[in-house]
Amino acid sequence: MTGLHEVNLKVLIFDTDFYTLNGINGFLAWDRRTRVTHLSESLQDMWDYLADTSLAELPNIVLLEADHFHSAEELRDTIGSLRHQVNSIRILCLAQEVKPDLVEAAAEAGASGYLLKNEVRLQITWAIVFSMAHDFVVTTSVAHATHDRFHHRIFHATVLPEVRKFPELTERIRQALKLCVLDGMPAHLAADEMGISLHTIRGYIKEGYRILEAYDDTEYPVDMTPQERAFMRITAFANRRDDTTNGAASEAAT
């Protein structure tokens, strides 16, 4: 896969939970393909932001907390209003649990996907980019819970791929990568957490980077840090199905 530098998706996140809102923002900040332009804890704040924002800075993507809506009609109306207000916007609904009526409302209203937060997890940026090349994407539990729904977009929905596997990574190397890459912990603190020396954890990280690189032929920007590259590799989808999305995302992010 090439051309990561060509993808620049502007993202607005709406979630009423402060910690979820900032957690998603933190995950997206690791990946240069996404740039969070606004965090909204209320619908009114979201509408105010969109009304006051210049055309050039309007989002390409809205991550919409589906659990906030008490009825399918309310979710359908909100998605419809977003699509009416912002040309070519793509909306991904995020939820804690599957409510088939809301999934169907999202599909009917023109959303681009319905994802469970505990299934998409750290793959949120990859899910956004993946959705650019598909009509309607869902996570596994959403697909299972809506198998009896006959709306054509749900029936033909694309399930997100699983996270990429790295069988050569030992548990200790995985732990070191989690602490230093995913959690952003300084090496000396991670060493204390694992009960090992600073020299040892640096060795784990170096070996982890080598293994991650062996599974990836992506061209990264020359100024991207090893930690940034490691985060993208750890959170990437399996089977390289995600590679097909890059061209579509590039076209949509102009």
133/185 same-domain check: no
Helices 124-131 and 18-29: crossing angle in degrees, nearest 10, is: 70
pLDDT attached to residue 218 = 83
Average pLDDT for 148-168: 92
What distance separates the 2 farthest-apart alpha carbons in the chain?
58
**Cβ-based neighbour number of residue 177 at 10 Å:** 26
230/247 same-domain check: no
Question: pLDDT band at residue 4, thresholds of 50, 70 and 90?
Answer: low
246/175 same-domain check: no
User: Could you read off the pLDDT of 172-226 as tens digits, one per residue?
Assistant: 999 999 999 988 899 999 999 999 999 999 999 999 999 999 988 888 888 889 9
What is the DSSP secondary-structure string of 36-83?
EEEEESSHHHHHHHHHHS-GGGS-SEEEEEGGG-SSHHHHHHHHHHHH
Q: How many domains does the chain have?
A: 2
Average pLDDT for 25-38: 92
247/193 same-domain check: no
85/141 same-domain check: yes
What is the DSSP secondary-structure string of 209-245?
HHHHHHT------TT--HHHHHHHHHTPBGGGGGGGH
Which residue blocks in 1-42 are alpha helix, DSSP H? 18-29
- Find the CATH number of the domain harbouring 44: 3.40.50.2300
Question: Percentage of the chain surpassing pLDDT 90?
Answer: 77
Question: pLDDT band at residue 129, thresholds of 50, 70 and 90?
Answer: very high
Q: Is the pLDDT of residue 8 over 70?
A: yes
Question: pLDDT band at residue 247, thresholds of 50, 70 and 90?
Answer: very low
Average pLDDT for 227-236: 91
User: Could you read off the pLDDT of 44-64 as tens digits, one per residue?
Assistant: 999 999 999 999 999 999 999
Tokens of residue 98, six digits:
């599957």
Average pLDDT for 124-140: 95
Higher per-residue pLDDT: 116 or 248: 116
Average pLDDT, the chain: 90
pLDDT attached to residue 251 = 43
**Cβ atoms 209, 233 nearer than 8 A:** no
Nearest by Cα to 38 from 73, 67, 12: 12
Q: Radius of gyration of the chain from Cα atoms?
A: 19
Cα gap 83→107, rounded to integer Å: 13
CA triple 165-170-173, angle to 5 deg? 100
pLDDT attached to residue 222 = 86
CA 134: distance to chain centroid? 15
108/214 same-domain check: no
115/227 same-domain check: no
Q: Is the pLDDT of residue 114 over 90?
A: yes
66/190 same-domain check: no
Question: pLDDT band at residue 150, thresholds of 50, 70 and 90?
Answer: confident
Tokens of residue 167, six digits:
């069988």
Which domain does 192 fall in, by range? Answer: 171-234
pLDDT attached to residue 252 = 44
pLDDT attached to residue 3 = 55
User: Could you read off the pLDDT of 72-105 as tens digits, one per residue?
Assistant: 999 999 999 999 999 999 999 999 999 999 999 9
18/69 same-domain check: yes
Tokens of residue 184, six digits:
């952003």
18/102 same-domain check: yes
196/97 same-domain check: no
Q: Is the pLDDT of residue 254 over 90?
A: no
101/198 same-domain check: no
